[in-house]
Each structure stands twice: as C-alpha cells, then as structure tokens.
Amino acid sequence: MYGVGLIKGLGVTIKNLILPGRQFTIHQYPDRKIGPIGLARMEGKNPLAFALSRPGETLKAMMGLVSVPDKRQDQHPRFRGEEFSWYDNRCTGCASCAKYCPLGIIKIVTSPSETAMQEGDKYAIDVFDIDIGRCMFCGLCVEACPYDALHMGSGFEEGTYTRAELVINVDMLKAAPKKPSQWFRPQLTSQNYNPLDSDGKEASSQDVHRHEKPSQSDQEKTWGQR
Amino acid sequence: MAVKTEPVTINLGPQHPSTHGVFRLRVKFDGEVVLDVEPVFGYLHRGTEKLAESRTYVQIVTLTDRLDYTASMSNNLSYVLAVEKLAGIEAPERAQYIRVICAELARISSHLMATGFLLNDLGAFATPLMYCFRERERILDLFEMLCGARITVSYMRPGGVLQDPPDDFWPALTRINDDLPQYFDELESLITGNEIVLARTRDVGTISAEHAINASISGPILRATGVQWDVRRADPYEIYDRLDFDIPIGAVGDTFDRYLVRIQEMRESVKIIRQCIEQTPDGPYRADAPWFIRAPEGDAYAAVEGPKGELGFYMVSDGDISPYRCKIRAPSFINLTALTDMLVGWKMGDLITIFGSLDVVLGEVDR
C-alpha cells in the first residue's frame, strides 16, 4: 500500500521525540534554555510521566525559565588540547620537540648555563615559543620528548582576538596550570590519573615522570642507530 | 510560434552546500535536463603529496588524517601499511586487530555520514542526518578515548598503534557494537521503505558494471553494480583473512543500491568488529621500529578497502628518512571520473542526489 513507508518513518521520528534515553545529538551550551521535552530527557524520563510527576518544573520549562545545568560533557583523559604542560626542571633544551614538529611551530633558544655542563647541568632556556595558532595538536612533540618534559593539555576554550596572542612563551608555559593529558604517557594511564578531574589527585611533578631510566640498548632501539 | 531556446550553463558550487565541500560543477542545462557536466576541482588542494616528501615517515601520518576526514583511521591504516611494506616492519598481532577495529569503526562513521547527507540532498533536511550523526558521535567518542582526537586522529604508527587502548575502551566498544544494529534497523525503517526516497532514487543515476570497471571505480559504487570486488577479500591485508564476513552487492547500480550496499556494509562491519573483540590477543601493540625510519631504496604500494573504495599509498624511497615520492590513490577522485556519464540526461534535482550518492569527500579529491 502506498504510504506505509512514510507512516513507518514518522513512527521512528515520534519514537525519537518521546522515548527517553535517546541521546542528545547536540549538547547544549550552559547558557541555553531548555524546553519541557529536553528537561525530561535529561532526567531520562518520558516527558508525559515527567510532566505529571513534576508539573511545576515542566511549566517553568515551557515558559523558558529553565537553563541547562552547567555540566560539561566528559572529555577523555587522552584528550589532546591546549595548555601544554611543560616541566621546567626536566627540559634540557634539546629541542627534540621542535625538530619533530611537522609544522615547525616550536621555537627554542638556549644558552649554556654558567655551571659545568659535564656534570649534568643543562642549558638555560631563553625562548620556548609554541605558536598554537598553527598547531594541529598531533602530539608528536610529546612523543619526541626524551625526558617527559612536555605534555599535551586539556584546554579547548582559549580563544583570543589576535593571532599574536596565540603564541605561548616560556613564562606562560611556566605559569600554566599543569593538567597533563594521558596522550602517549602510559605511566599516567597506569596510575588512573585523570587530568580533568578537579577533585581527584593532582599529579605531582614526579608522578608524571617515567621512573625507570631506559637502558642503552632500549634507547638505541627507540631512537635509531646513530 | 516556436520559441527559440538555447542551453544555459550554470555554476554549481564551489560554495554550494550540496557539493559536500568546495567542488564546482559547470552544468549545461536544456530547461531542467542536464546536457553536459564539467567537474572543476582543486579548491582544497594542499599539496599533500609534495609536503610528504619533506617530512619523516611518522610526520606524514598527520597529513593522512586530512585526506578523507570522515574516515581518518582508514587513511592512517593505508599509509602505515605502505610504510611497513617499504621498510619491512611487521606489526604485532594485537596492533593489527586494533587497527582493523579502528578502520571498521571509521567505515561505519563514514557510511553513516554518507547516508545522512544523501537524505539531506533529497530534501529530508536535517532529521535523518541528525539520527546518523548521533550514532557517529558515539564512534567519534571512542576515537577520542583511544587517542585524544575525534577527526584528526594520527593514531597509527608504522609498526603498530601509538598507545594501547585504555581499559574502559573494550566495554565501551562492545556496548556501541551491540547498539549499532538496532540503529541501522531504525534508519532502514525510516528510509528503505519510504516511497518518496524510492521514487527519487530507484533507477536514478544507473551505471553499468562494465562502465564502472572501465572507469576503475571501486568501493560501494562498484559493488552496487553487482561486482563482488572488495580489497579485503581480493587481497587480504592485516587479519582480514581470518574474519568471516560477506560482501554485499547491489542489483542495478542505481542510487538506491548504493545506499543499500552502504547499510549492509555497516552491518558487516559490526560483525567484523564483534569477531575482532573476541579474537584480539594480548601482547605488544607496537613493533620495535625506530622513530626515524630509514626505508631501503625501493617502492611499495599498499591498498586498503576504505569507505569510499580502494585507498592506496604508493611510496618510493631513496634511503632517506623521508620518502622520495608519495602517491595517493584517492578513491573519491577516481569515482568522480564517471560522474558526467551518470548525470547526463537527468534533471537538476537528480543531479544533487546522484552526486550525493557517490559520497565524495573533497579533502581526498584535491589532496
């Protein structure tokens, strides 16, 4: 019979409109208002049952007075984002990250420090600029760092008015909150460290480090024969 | 009295939303009937193949994400396979399973997008598209769990994958995989029996099997014509020879068949992922490949069955840390070659539908 398919399709649409437990396709921004159906769905209930059990809130939602609760969608711990976590005490200024960056947006200038280089002292880092206006957040710089000094962050709302403001310099890197992403950091994964969990434990500078030093043969394997 | 008429040439695109990107069609119309079509592309050309020549083998992975951005994982897989062949690296078994799972998830997400946009082109604005995107969203969430990015994944490396999936990945994958067939049922009850869709897509934009083979078309468009050609079966890579799956084919090769083949392929992908979840062994996920791969002199070609068709990378090495030449066989680009023959004689409204059913991604066409 002609038209059966149309009615069936309409049934699917109605089912999606009414049945709870169907996910939001678009997560609403916190300042947006929510209607009665959206409110019921957020609670995971049938709109009809919700309206009967809580008529006051439904009425308020119909008048457009209920806003979406300020609850962010969960990011995953490996999320690669802005706010690079850089550990000053671990960085030797070797510029592996700069060499490995496919776009060449990391600029590092070092000068020999006063003390004896032979006794394990490191270079002083004068410039460490990351131009995140051109960064594609591939995470190769993190992969390249031999001393676990650079980590991806979890920020994504860092809009600025000019491109020049998007360049992160060494002072900003030092001052930035340390929320290292688990991307390419298996030691963070094994500790169940979640960079986005504000209530959870804050990883100390030691915790995010790889503890065992790789052997000479391991290093050669990883870094290729020189 | 006879009115004198003449054909009108109309520019469709490059900013037209139904061209799925920046693609331009110079169409000559007689009234509403298409007389001639001239595809114009290159608006999104970024020089990926040339850029690859000045980058190391690992850095090129980030470029491959940006080819077919609806299925980045398939691009990664194809590239990584080519480099492994070139440099003689063998990926561990666990990595192969993980990569197959990722590629199949990418296929589902790409096909969902193709189906949704086909309906969008038909005029069913946004509603079916949003259903498709809801499912795709969950797959992208899985990718974020794996590697921290949703579209530009850069997850695979020559010799395996970058990082083992987190512990909560496997239950999440099983859950989504079990949910997906019912989503497809819902999508099919919305579309497959719909009289308007049938009237608009049945026997529209038909292409014969001989023509498709002559134009070296691959993927769902070829299979919709009834040719059972699938790189996964014809030249099995990774662990596809251990998996049990069917290759759905269409009957006549019209727009509706192309849609139906995609839906059935997604069901097969779910089957493949289910088998992979059962079979994935423990063990290393990345081979001991150096970071600066110095491939020996020579060349290698590796193709995978991407969502759009046979996606291949041809790499030539001169022994340096970056390839001497990198050629990408982009399925979308080659599938476009038969576009003119498919479109001539159809009306303006069918033009959009036929083009939509080809599932072209301009990131891949222009490279």
Enumerate domains of chain B plus CATH numbers: 44-365 (1.10.645.10)
Per-residue pLDDT, averaged over A98-109, amounts to: 87
Instruction: Spell out which chain A residues touch chain B, with contact meaning CB-CB distance below 8 angstroms.
Output: 2-6, 8-9, 11-13, 16, 22-23, 25, 75-80, 100, 102, 136-140, 143-144, 152, 181-184, 186, 189, 221-225
Name the residue among B339, B279, B190, B14 with its Cα closest to residue A16. B190
Q: Tell me which chain A residue has its CA closest to the CA of residue B148.
A: A79
pLDDT per position as a tens digit, A63-97 = 777 777 666 666 788 888 887 888 777 777 788 88
Residue A180 DSSP symbol? -
Selecting from B58, B163, B194 the residue whose C-beta is nearest the C-beta of A9 gives B194
CB contact under 8 A, B195 and A80: no
Q: Distance from A2 to chain B by nearest Cα, in Å?
A: 7
pLDDT at A201 over 60: no
Contact A3 B195 (CB under 8 A): yes
Strands A150-153 and A81-86: antiparallel
Q: Which of B323, B338, B346 is CA-nearest to residue B63?
A: B323
For B238-285, write each residue's pLDDT tens digit. 888 888 888 898 888 888 888 899 999 999 999 999 999 988 888 888
Interface predicted TM-score of the whole assembly (ipTM), two decimals: 0.75
Q: Give the model confidence (pLDDT) of A138-154 as tens digits.
A: 888 888 887 778 888 87
Is residue A31 scored above 80 in pLDDT? no
Of A9, A77, A181, the CB nearest to B190: A9
CB–CB contact A78 B163 (8 Å): yes
End-to-end alpha carbon distance in chain B: 52
Residue A75 has phi, psi (to 5 degrees) of: -90, 160
DSSP H or E run through B291: none
Give, in order, the Cα–Cα distances in Å from A27 to each of A21, A24, B140, B141, B152. Answer: 14, 6, 15, 13, 21
Euclidean distance between CA atoms A15 and A46, whole angstroms: 11
pLDDT at position A94 is 81
Give B33-59 pLDDT, tens digit per residue.
888 888 888 888 888 888 888 888 888
Cβ contacts (< 8 Å) between A143 and chain B: which residues? 162, 291
pLDDT of residue B120: 84
| The residue type at A165 | E
Question: Taking Cα atoms as reference points, which of A106, A108, A169, A166 lies closest to residue A140?
Answer: A106
- Every domain of chain A and the residues it spans: 4-69, 81-190
Q: Is it the case that residue B73 has pLDDT exceeding 60? A: yes
Ranges A51-55, B17-21, B58-62: which has the least confidence? B17-21
| Rounded CA Rg of chain B | 21
CB A176 within 8 A of CB A85: yes
| Proportion of chain B above pLDDT 70, given as a percent | 99
Pair B41, B26: CB distance under 8 Å: no
Query: Which CATH number does the domain A81-190 belong to among 3.90.950.10, 3.40.710.10, 3.30.70.580, 3.30.70.3270?
Result: 3.30.70.3270
pTM for the full predicted model: 0.84
The pLDDT of residue A226 is 47
Q: Which of B52, B115, B46, B25 minimizes the C-alpha distance to B365?
A: B46
B128/chain A closest Cα distance in angstroms: 9
B54 reaches A (C-beta below 8 A): no
Question: In what helix (H) or strand (E) does residue A127 lie, and over which residues does it extend?
Answer: strand A124-131
Q: Which residues contact A149 (CB under 8 A, 6 or more apart)?
A: A86, A87, A90, A91, A92
How far from B140 is each of A197, B52, B136, B150, B186, CA to CA, in Å? 22, 26, 6, 5, 20
Q: Is the pLDDT of residue B28 over 50?
A: yes
A187: closest chain B residue by CA: B163
Chain B residues with CB under 8 Å of A145 CB are none
pLDDT-derived band at B288, boundaries 50, 70, 90: confident
Residue A197: pLDDT over 80:
no
Q: Which residues of A touch B163 (CB under 8 A)?
A: 78, 183-184, 186, 189
In chain A, what's the furthest Cα-to-Cα distance?
A: 90
* B193 contact A CB<8A: yes
Task: Answer yes or no: do A13 and B288 touch at CB < 8 A.
Answer: no
Distance CA B98, CA B280 (A): 8
Q: CB-based contact (8 Å) between B150 and chain A?
A: no
